[in-house]
Amino acid sequence: MKKKILVTGGAGFIGSHLCEKLLSMGHEVICLDNFFTGQKENIIHLIDNPFFELIRHDVTMPFFIEVDEIYNLACPASPVHYQHNAIKTIKTSVMGSVNMLGLAKRIKAKILQASTSEVYGIPDISPQPESYWGNVNPIGPRSCYDEGKRCAESLFINYHIQNNVKIKILRIFNTYGPRMHPNDGRVVSNFIVQAIQNKDITIYGDGSQTRSFCFVDDLVDGMIKFMDTPNDVIGPANIGNPEEYRIIDLAKKIIDITNSSSKLVYMPLPQDDPSQRKPDITLVKQLIHWQPTTKLIDGLNKTISYFHKTLKT
């Protein structure tokens, strides 16, 4: 069935892939974005599609439209971007969720929240299951993002309980792929850009901290499947790739694949940087029979080709 779907943050990295996939499935897509971190280049290839609409709007302000589904992705996601204006980041998560949940309530649309593994903070257990409540510093530099997203989860669950809004909460773990912003400071984009320009690779701390990297196509596939689950499936559910890598090993891998002459340099570890992160994806596997299929090497190669093209190296 053809649906009308609103994607907030649709001009961003994940949002642009989601818009593209939903259009390819025959749906009508409305992309809403204030272009804080999103770029027109990410969606320019969709502009001529008569079933695609682009609206410049800030989710902290109310917005009205008739749609069947809402994917709420609007929020800067990289530490550099979300710490740039911490108060605005909190407002985007909190007021953006209030506005989108209010809209969903009014028009009886289903709404999915792009939550994050950051709700677990610096975890005491690994891998992290959904039942773990997290270990977040409420006043640290990451709190604007972590607590904003935690408050958004609370808003979602309470709109569901109090107002019967059809909600879905996905806790997304580190995702990478083409259309990551080259200057957003995230580890995969930083290391690839540094490696293809033969510049020093910046390892924060000793590089022993871990992350688990999911290719964007796998994630988008899981997000759409989760949105399509029956109304009693609400989450929160983890989504990501449970293969865990040390940051130093990721750096070496990228130097190797790009045949780079870059050297590793060590810089201070940012405050409250989680020492490990690995999703327990048992729940999402059961619910939507999903698991990531893209191998890190294949996803990295696609991302490297993208950066070669955009940076013209």
Binding site for ligand UDP (CB under 6 A): 78-79, 174, 185-187, 190, 202-204, 209, 211, 247, 270, 273
Nearer to ligand UDP, 111 or 281 (CB): 281
Closest approach of ligand UDP to the CB of residue 204, in Å: 4
Nearer to ligand UDP, 264 or 297 (CB): 264
Closest approach of ligand NAD to the CB of residue 75, in Å: 4
**Preceding omega of 236 cis (within 30 degrees of 0):** yes
Residue 273 CB neighbours (<10 A)? 15
Annotated active-site residue 145? The verdict is: yes
Q: Please, what is the Cα angle at 300 between 262 and 79, to 5 degrees?
A: 75
> Which residue in the list 71, 120, 145, 245 is annotated as catalytic?
145
Closest approach of ligand UDP to the CB of residue 206, in Å: 10
The footprint of ligand NAD on residues 68-97 (CB under 6 A) is 73-77, 81, 92, 96
Contact in structure between 73 and 50 (CB atoms under 8 Å): no
Residue 257 CB neighbours (<10 A)? 15
The alpha-carbon radius of gyration of the chain (Å, integer) is: 19
Q: How far from chain centre, in Å, is Cα 151?
A: 17
Residues 6+ apart with CB under 8 A from 188: 174, 176, 180, 213, 250, 300, 303
- Identify residue 27 by its one-letter amino acid code: H
Burial of 161 (0-12, 13-18, 19+ CB in 10 A): exposed
Contact in structure between 71 and 168 (CB atoms under 8 Å): no
Among 2, 25, 26, 35, binds ligand NAD (CB under 6 A): 35
Contact in structure between 128 and 279 (CB atoms under 8 Å): yes
Nearer to ligand UDP, 29 or 247 (CB): 247
Give phi and psi for 31, each to the nearest 5. -100, 120
According to the binding rule CB under 6 A, does residue 174 interact with ligand NAD?
Answer: yes
The footprint of ligand NAD on residues 104-143 (CB under 6 A) is 114, 116
Nearer to ligand UDP, 207 or 236 (CB): 207
Rounded distance, CA 278 to CA 98, Å? 30
Closest approach of ligand NAD to the CB of residue 96, in Å: 6
Which of ligand NAD, ligand UDP, none sits in contact with 203, Cβ below 5 to 8 A by type? ligand UDP
Stretch that binds ligand NAD, among 28-36, 97-105, 195-203, 226-234 (CB under 6 A): 28-36
Contact in structure between 71 and 27 (CB atoms under 8 Å): no
Strands (DSSP E) found in 27-165:
28-33, 52-56, 69-72, 110-116
Which of ligand NAD, ligand UDP, none sits in contact with 209, Cβ below 5 to 8 A by type? ligand UDP
Which of ligand UDP, ligand NAD, none sits in contact with 273, Cβ below 5 to 8 A by type? ligand UDP
According to the binding rule CB under 6 A, does residue 183 interact with ligand NAD?
Answer: no
Among 60, 85, 126, 282, binds ligand NAD (CB under 6 A): 60
- Active-site residue numbers? 145
| Residues at the site binding ligand NAD, with contacts judged by CB under 6 A | 8-9, 11-15, 33-38, 58-60, 73-77, 81, 92, 96, 114, 116, 172, 174-175
